[in-house]
Amino acid sequence: MQTKLISTILALQPLFPVFVYFSVLTGHPPLWLSLTIAVIPLGISYWYSRQIIRRTLFDMPILFFVGGTLVGFIVSPDKQVGLGYFASTVASILIYFGITNNSGASKRYWFWTGGIMCLITMVLSLWFFSQSAHRVLSFNQWAFNLFAGLPKTVGPVLNLHTIGALLAVMIPPLFVIIFLKNRISLRIIILTLFLFFSVVLFLSDSGTGWLAIIVSMTFILVCWRKKLLWILIPTEGIITGAAVLFYDKLEWLRTTFSTSSFMDRVELWRNTITLLKGKAAITGLGSGSWLSVYNTHYSNTVAHVHNSYLQLYCDAGILGFIAMILAAVIFIRFSINLLKLYQQHPLYWIGIGLIGTVISGAVFAIFDVTYSITDVTKTGYIDLGLPLLWIGVALISVINNKLLER
């Protein structure tokens, strides 16, 4: 009985840090209590196996990132915001290790994990359409009208960029699973989810999400059939040319790919780079402090810098930048090894799908912030570290562990 209880707790380890997000967003439970709950599985793991965490592919980048985030908290001008960001970032990392610690779990465990992630994404998709009119256009108005009758909620509401980022990293793994030799019933379920999320991404009008998924799907299709590169690139070029040709004639196209919005982002990036000089070039601006620091020097109407790489530097300084470079190098090495050495491995295509997830996230990160979210209210603002890409990277680490075992 005791062994079964311990096994259950360790299997549910990725869920324990969720309480930290409730603490940061609502104040309940107290942060000290939610952090204590989050680390309970680590203590049980050490007591049971004399191992707190399992070594993973990205341990070194995570170490640098934690160090940078801690420095960012120390220099943050608003310690409450800095603490919320630091605590939620720690929670994301604990979710990462909660997943990697279960690397040896059975296939059923990973089916359940994927199923829960898909269920959460479906709920968030419906919530997105029901809460408010996020860029309602001629082709998606019916979707907002369809779910307008659902109850409204109080608090942060998903915008088109948030749902776009979520769907852009969820779709690639589903796409590759469709072609695996699974039971026909499972393939039908996966195909249904793939089509549903693809339609939602289209209707969300997230232009960045469209671009990210095109790049990642191109990668996956070329891995499947290299000759498709000679079809995909010209086709995408023709579509791009047509978009440029009809840009002034189609209102929805001008709205989705707004040149003024892009230029506003460029101004944000330039001004932020100007702020990252002197001491800030080493420490960053402080965890979760971009908004307050930017408003001190420039007028501003947005909550974040619309670029994950700059946001990372602002939050974690030079250590965070080093962590990003290390993680990129490790990811590229993993991708090359997978493509060269493991094409016959049963997990090869799952790995390709997860690479597609990271590619989507990397493209999306150029134009928006994907690893954190800022909620601005009348009384202040909350900067929250999200586990979105941490989950994808954790699954890559799991795949790597299994490849090494093989």
Residue-level pLDDT, tens digit, the chain, 406 residues: 557 888 888 899 999 999 999 999 888 899 999 999 999 999 998 888 888 888 999 999 999 999 999 999 999 988 988 999 999 999 999 999 999 999 988 889 999 999 999 999 999 898 888 886 678 888 888 888 888 887 777 666 778 888 999 999 999 999 998 888 667 888 889 999 999 999 999 999 999 999 999 999 999 999 999 999 999 999 999 999 999 999 988 888 888 899 998 999 999 999 999 999 999 999 999 998 898 899 888 987 788 899 999 999 999 999 999 999 999 999 999 999 999 989 888 899 999 999 999 999 999 999 999 888 887 765 567 888 889 889 999 999 999 998 887 6
Q: Is the residue at 300 inside a domain? A: yes
Q: Is the residue at 2 inside a domain? A: no
The pLDDT value given to residue 1: 56
The pLDDT value given to residue 49: 82
Query: What string of DSSP letters covers 356-390?
Result: HHHHHHHHHHHHS--SEEEEEETTEEEEEE--HHH
| Domain encompassing residue 312 | 53-405
**How far is it, in rounded angstroms, from Cα 130 to Cα 149?**
7
The pLDDT value given to residue 233: 92
**How far is it, in rounded angstroms, from Cα 52 to Cα 17?**
15
- Placement of tokens 């499947």 in the chain: 224
Tokens standing for 296?
């001190």
The pLDDT value given to residue 380: 66
Residue 205 Cα distances to 128, 210, 367, angstroms: 12, 8, 15
**How far is it, in rounded angstroms, from Cα 123 to Cα 150?**
12
**How far is it, in rounded angstroms, from Cα 326 to Cα 90?**
19
Q: Is the residue at 138 inside a domain? A: yes
Please check whether residue 171 is in contact with residue 214, taking contact to mean a CB–CB distance below 8 angstroms. no
**How far is it, in rounded angstroms, from Cα 34 to Cα 297?**
36
The pLDDT value given to residue 377: 64
The pLDDT value given to residue 379: 54
Tokens standing for 388?
């979105």
Q: Is the residue at 5 inside a domain? A: no
Q: Is the residue at 15 inside a domain? A: no
**In this structure, is the dihedral angle defined by the CA atoms of residues 172, 178, 182 and 188, taken in order, positive or negative?**
positive
The pLDDT value given to residue 240: 92
Q: Is the residue at 252 inside a domain? A: yes
69-78 pLDDT, tens digit per residue, is 999 999 998 8
The pLDDT value given to residue 176: 93
Give the count of domains, the chain: 1
Please check whether residue 390 is in contact with residue 69, taking contact to mean a CB–CB distance below 8 angstroms. no
**Nearest CA among 386, 395, 397 for reference residue 162:** 386
